[in-house]
Chains A and B, each alone.
Chain A
Amino acid sequence: MSFDEIYNITLMQGFAGLSLFAVLLLMGLGLAIIFGQMGVINMAHGEFMTIGAYTIFLFSSLTESLAPGLVQAYFPFAIVCAFLVAFGIGWLTEWALIRHLYKRPLDTLLATWGLSLGMQQVFRSTFGPKEVSPTLPDWLMGSWSPAEGLDIPINGMFVLALTVVVTGSVLIALYRSRWGLRVRATVSNRAMANATGINTRRTDRLTFAIGCGIAGVAGAAFTTIGSTGPTSGSLYIVDAFLVVTFGGAASLWGTVVSAFGIAQTQSISEFFLSGSMAKVLTLLLIVTILMMRPQGLFAAKVRR
């Protein structure tokens, strides 16, 4: 094996890690907003991702049967819809379930687990137990080879770009918009925020819904690199939780860094070990570090 080949393989393996990084980050971002900002554990978060993925699939099937000419163009609209659908269902979930459980985090965990079971069964009854894949536009297919022997898949780059846009928007929204200000005020002192005229209930609902919407976008991204089944989302939920806790629950930058670290560790160790052992190694590493440093990588410094 020549040096060039090793170099190329490292690059491609690193890039495979970037696709995983994108999905983990999008999943983690939604969770981090909900968990970090509101202290709510949403075990059904993976199912919101699946909702996003099925939305894309639905769009793709509808476009194919009703307007075959638009197959090249439907994808961006579908992503927006994936966000909106997940957002809407998240809104309803908060209203029906979550708001009654704010003071009982462990109970929320159980209730949302129940919700995820129910949602999986709905998916199964609606779309069938088999995995489905949307017809992706041609421009997402193929790969880009800037050099001999180096193939970088376009769908991976697209997912990465989408992730950058979404992450950027979330950070801007949180630190520059009125909503972000309200969220941050509510997080640091709920009673005071209420007293200054912030409708904290509405803020909570909006925050939860936005977190779910981002999971929907994660699902949209997921369809470009894998096929969707009723339990696709639940496969990522533990990883996503670890991304959030590992990064430090209150820090969105921490989420970005830890998603990158976890995805790359897994991807690179997959090159040397079998897939399952790479997973075991990665998880073991995170759990050990979390035991040593439970506050995560980026802890909020608060005078207590």
Chain B
Amino acid sequence: MSNTDFVLAIEDLTVSFDGFKAIDNLNLYLDRGELRVVIGPNGAGKTTLLDLICGKTRASAGSIKFKNEEMTRLPEHIRVRAGIGRKFQTPSIYENLSVFKNLEVSFPRGRGVFGALGFRCDDEVRAKVDEVAGMIGLADRLDMEAGLLSHGQKQWLEIGMLLMQDPELLMLDEPIAGMSAKERELTAELLLRICRNRSVIVIEHDMEFVSRIAHKVTVMHQGKILAEGPMEKVQADPKVIDVYLGH
């Protein structure tokens, strides 16, 4: 089955590590413009799922279609160029470079070896950097060395680096972990703003945060999907309660 409406269609996806199935026959469909939150207990396979979508881990079986194109066997950078952006759990930024450089390097031009040699930081790039820096609240920190930013600002910077590429699918792995209440608030606003013209998958544990941002929630357990739907429905599902509260 292949439905052209979905931005992301995952079918029968399986990955096994030495016999252990971290993702087991999983199906997942994501609409354009949807903000989906994936929750589940530790070891449910959430991060592995993102790894599979962005190509960090290779699938053992099944298919991942992005905008109706088969991604399963493509290398990471091709998937990124197709429009899949991935933020890692711990902030992954270039600590020794300035905030400006961090964003500039992420601009999707001059990605080949010789393209990078000929790359010039022109007005178009500067305009984009300014725009994104404004969105992530770092407009006044552009010259600062990125390593000196606070933890929350680093997380935003990494989101900003993804926004530089205007991905159609953005995947965020626990974006608010380690943030203060104020920072969480700002992050929630940021997420709601950036998902207007793209699809977003977020992994999160904080239920309050989840209920604020999620269009739809997917609950994973032992590499499978346990439940899927609006927050209230999922929260009332006895299977979900069972998994979260123990037997």
Residue A303 is within 8 A (CB to CB) of chain B in the complex: yes
Q: Could you tell me the distance between the alpha carbons of A302 and B17 in the complex, rounded to whole angstroms?
A: 7
A interface, by DSSP: helix, strand, loop or mixed?
loop
Q: Could you tell me the distance between the alpha carbons of A64 and B36 in the complex, rounded to whole angstroms?
A: 83
Residue A304 is within 8 A (CB to CB) of chain B in the complex: yes
Q: Could you tell me the distance between the alpha carbons of A301 and B17 in the complex, rounded to whole angstroms?
A: 7
Residue of B nearest to A304 (CB): B57
Least distance between A62 CB and chain B CB atoms (Å):
53
Which of A301, A302, A303, A304 has most chain B Cβ within 10 Å?
A303
Q: Could you tell me the distance between the alpha carbons of A133 and B18 in the complex, rounded to whole angstroms?
A: 50
Contacts of A303 in B (CB 8 A): 17-18, 20, 22
Question: What total of chain B residues lie within 8 Å of the partner, measured CB to CB?
Answer: 5
Q: Using a CB-CB cutoff of 8 Å, which residues 139-186 of chain B contact chain A?
A: none
Q: Could you tell me the distance between the alpha carbons of A303 and B18 in the complex, rounded to whole angstroms?
A: 8
Q: Could you tell me the distance between the alpha carbons of A304 and B52 in the complex, rounded to whole angstroms?
A: 12
Q: Using a CB-CB cutoff of 8 Å, which residues 257-304 of chain A contact chain B?
A: 301-304
Least distance between B157 CB and chain A CB atoms (Å):
25
Residue of A nearest to B48 (CB): A303
Contacts of A301 in B (CB 8 A): 17-18
Contacts of A304 in B (CB 8 A): 57
Contacts of B57 in A (CB 8 A): 304
Q: Could you tell me the distance between the alpha carbons of A302 and B20 in the complex, rounded to whole angstroms?
A: 11
Contacts of B17 in A (CB 8 A): 301-303
Residue of A nearest to B17 (CB): A303
Residues 70-103 of chain A, each 1 if its beta carbon lies under 8 Å from chain B, else 0: 0000000000000000000000000000000000
Q: Could you tell me the distance between the alpha carbons of A247 and B24 in the complex, rounded to whole angstroms?
A: 32
Q: Could you tell me the distance between the alpha carbons of A238 and B18 in the complex, rounded to whole angstroms?
A: 32
Least distance between A184 CB and chain B CB atoms (Å):
17
Residues 9-42 of chain B, each 1 if its beta carbon lies under 8 Å from chain A, else 0: 0000000011010100000000000000000000
Residue of A nearest to B51 (CB): A304
Q: Could you tell me the distance between the alpha carbons of A303 and B48 in the complex, rounded to whole angstroms?
A: 10
Least distance between A273 CB and chain B CB atoms (Å):
40
Least distance between A163 CB and chain B CB atoms (Å):
31
Least distance between A300 CB and chain B CB atoms (Å):
10
Q: Could you tell me the distance between the alpha carbons of A73 and B165 in the complex, rounded to whole angstroms?
A: 76
Q: Could you tell me the distance between the alpha carbons of A98 and B18 in the complex, rounded to whole angstroms?
A: 34
Q: Could you tell me the distance between the alpha carbons of A302 and B22 in the complex, rounded to whole angstroms?
A: 12
Q: Could you tell me the distance between the alpha carbons of A301 and B15 in the complex, rounded to whole angstroms?
A: 14
Contacts of B20 in A (CB 8 A): 303
Q: Could you tell me the distance between the alpha carbons of A301 and B20 in the complex, rounded to whole angstroms?
A: 11
Contacts of B22 in A (CB 8 A): 303
Q: Could you tell me the distance between the alpha carbons of A32 and B184 in the complex, rounded to whole angstroms?
A: 48
Q: Using a CB-CB cutoff of 8 Å, which residues 195-249 of chain A contact chain B?
A: none
Contacts of B18 in A (CB 8 A): 301, 303
Contacts of A302 in B (CB 8 A): 17
Q: Could you tell me the distance between the alpha carbons of A301 and B22 in the complex, rounded to whole angstroms?
A: 14
Q: Could you tell me the distance between the alpha carbons of A303 and B16 in the complex, rounded to whole angstroms?
A: 9
Least distance between A298 CB and chain B CB atoms (Å):
13
Q: Could you tell me the distance between the alpha carbons of A282 and B17 in the complex, rounded to whole angstroms?
A: 33
Q: Could you tell me the distance between the alpha carbons of A304 and B57 in the complex, rounded to whole angstroms?
A: 8
Residue of B nearest to A301 (CB): B18
Q: Could you tell me the distance between the alpha carbons of A301 and B16 in the complex, rounded to whole angstroms?
A: 11
Q: Could you tell me the distance between the alpha carbons of A302 and B121 in the complex, rounded to whole angstroms?
A: 42
Least distance between A188 CB and chain B CB atoms (Å):
14
Least distance between A190 CB and chain B CB atoms (Å):
18
Q: Could you tell me the distance between the alpha carbons of A173 and B85 in the complex, rounded to whole angstroms?
A: 48
Q: Using a CB-CB cutoff of 8 Å, which residues 115-171 of chain A contact chain B?
A: none
Residue of A nearest to B56 (CB): A304
Q: Could you tell me the distance between the alpha carbons of A99 and B17 in the complex, rounded to whole angstroms?
A: 33
Least distance between B215 CB and chain A CB atoms (Å):
31
Residue of A nearest to B20 (CB): A303
Residue of A nearest to B16 (CB): A303
Residue of A nearest to B15 (CB): A303
Q: Could you tell me the distance between the alpha carbons of A301 and B60 in the complex, rounded to whole angstroms?
A: 14
Q: Could you tell me the distance between the alpha carbons of A302 and B176 in the complex, rounded to whole angstroms?
A: 28
Residue of A nearest to B19 (CB): A301
Q: Could you tell me the distance between the alpha carbons of A218 and B22 in the complex, rounded to whole angstroms?
A: 44
Q: Could you tell me the distance between the alpha carbons of A297 and B77 in the complex, rounded to whole angstroms?
A: 29
Residue of B nearest to A302 (CB): B17
Q: Could you tell me the distance between the alpha carbons of A304 and B48 in the complex, rounded to whole angstroms?
A: 9
Least distance between B48 CB and chain A CB atoms (Å):
8
Least distance between B19 CB and chain A CB atoms (Å):
9
Closest A-B pairs by Cβ, 6 of them: A303-B17, A301-B18, A303-B22, A301-B17, A303-B20, A304-B57
* 8 sample A-B contacts, Cβ–Cβ < 8 Å, listed by A number: A301-B17, A301-B18, A302-B17, A303-B17, A303-B18, A303-B20, A303-B22, A304-B57
Interface residues of A (CB under 8 A from B): 301-304
Given A301-B18, A303-B22, 6 more pairs with CB closer than 8 A: A301-B17, A302-B17, A303-B17, A303-B18, A303-B20, A304-B57
